[in-house]
Amino acid sequence: MSVISPPSPAAIEAGPHEQRELLRWVAELYYLQQQGQADIAALIGVSVSKVSRLLAEARRRGIVTITVADSLAGQSDLERELASELGLRGVYAAPARVTDAGTASRAAALTAARLLPQWLSSPGTLGLSGGYTVAEFTRALEPRAAGDIVVVPLQGNWVEGDVHLHNDQVCRDAAARLGGRALSLPAPMLVERAATRTALLQDRSIRPVRERWSDLSVAVVGVGRSPDSEESTYPSVMGALPRSVRDDLHRRGVVGDLCAHMFDLNGRFVDHEASRRTLSISIGDLRRASLVVAVAGGVAKAASLLGAVRTGIPHVLVTDQQTAERLLSLVKHQGA
């Protein structure tokens, strides 16, 4: 005679009330009673991975809600002093102390993404310069409900290279997260002749973007590195230029660029044939933007950031802690 074993507790289908109470209890054990997931798994007769899934489900259902204290970004002594020294509306330093340039840039980008809602309202026009840091900023944006937000590229696309050098895609990603729409700039960033750039800017397909350039609510721009610095952990716009061009820019005192407009440490724009061949927003239109936010990280960019701020174009700077400290030291050494 065969013996039929009773089903195990885990095999019994739980009703809605029991399931919800299980989720609540698991959450209580983990978050309030500080029980480890392995201990909880043994207690309720499931695997550790099942406990992890139960905790995720509890959050999804709203059984567990997590709140984080309001940010005090921009209010530290360092941030206030740096903003005052540089004549900026605000400086925001991500509390990250990292030496890797890519990680520092991402820290700055994540900080800027969380600040965007206080800068950009609907209706509004957001301009993006492209580049690694701005692409990371885009990926970190909090999704919004559909609204009247238009995202426009501030420069053309590199024919080759990683996704962050394709500004149209960066803008499409931002628009998707912001519930808005993106305009396209169907042209390369760098062309062979200045006359080609001039002709392209008059083309009907580019006119809608050009018209938006003169009426930007917010422009989020990366700050290009110095032409003589070593290539960072990610491909950059400056790194895409031929070595002969970078050497010439270095001889002319260039320390960085804003939307491919080269500047020196004193914030003076340096006229160069590379800029005249670059399809991007004009310096005049950048100055007319209601708010220009420069986002960049990595201590190697301290001089680039100082030169960028001295152009008078950025109103706000978002960077990382170590870069902010290096920048303040540079300002005090040279004078803002």
Whether residue 31 is found in the same domain as residue 117: no
pTM for the full model?
0.83
In a domain, 182, yes or no: yes
Whether residue 88 is found in the same domain as residue 185: yes
Whether residue 45 is found in the same domain as residue 92: no
At 6 the pLDDT is 47
If we measure between CA atoms, which residue out of 229, 187, 226 comes closest to residue 209? 187
Whether residue 212 is found in the same domain as residue 117: yes
Range of the domain at 44: 15-60
Count the domains in the chain.
Answer: 2
Q: Which DSSP category does 32 fall into?
A: I
Whether residue 27 is found in the same domain as residue 175: no
In a domain, 5, yes or no: no
Whether residue 125 is found in the same domain as residue 34: no
Whether residue 31 is found in the same domain as residue 130: no
Cα distance from N-terminal residue to C-terminal residue, the chain: 93
Whether residue 25 is found in the same domain as residue 164: no
Structure tokens at 29: 């054990």
In a domain, 7, yes or no: no
Q: Could you list the mean pLDDT of each consecutive 10-residue stretch along the chain, which spans 336 residues?
A: 47 72 94 93 93 94 90 92 97 92 94 95 93 93 89 84 73 94 88 85 89 96 86 59 84 92 95 85 96 96 96 98 96 76
Say how many CA atoms lie within 13 Å of 152 toward its Cβ.
24
Contact 295, 247 (CB under 8 A): no
In a domain, 299, yes or no: yes
In a domain, 10, yes or no: no
In a domain, 276, yes or no: yes
Whether residue 218 is found in the same domain as residue 148: yes
Whether residue 29 is found in the same domain as residue 114: no
At 8 the pLDDT is 47
In a domain, 47, yes or no: yes
CATH code at 248? 3.40.50.1360
At 241 the pLDDT is 74
What is the CA angle 276-280-283, rounded to 5?
Answer: 80
CATH code at 25? 1.10.10
At 203 the pLDDT is 87
In a domain, 71, yes or no: no
Whether residue 30 is found in the same domain as residue 129: no
At 277 the pLDDT is 84
At 257 the pLDDT is 92
What residues contact residue 332 under an 8 Å CB cut-off, 6+ apart? 85
Whether residue 154 is found in the same domain as residue 296: yes
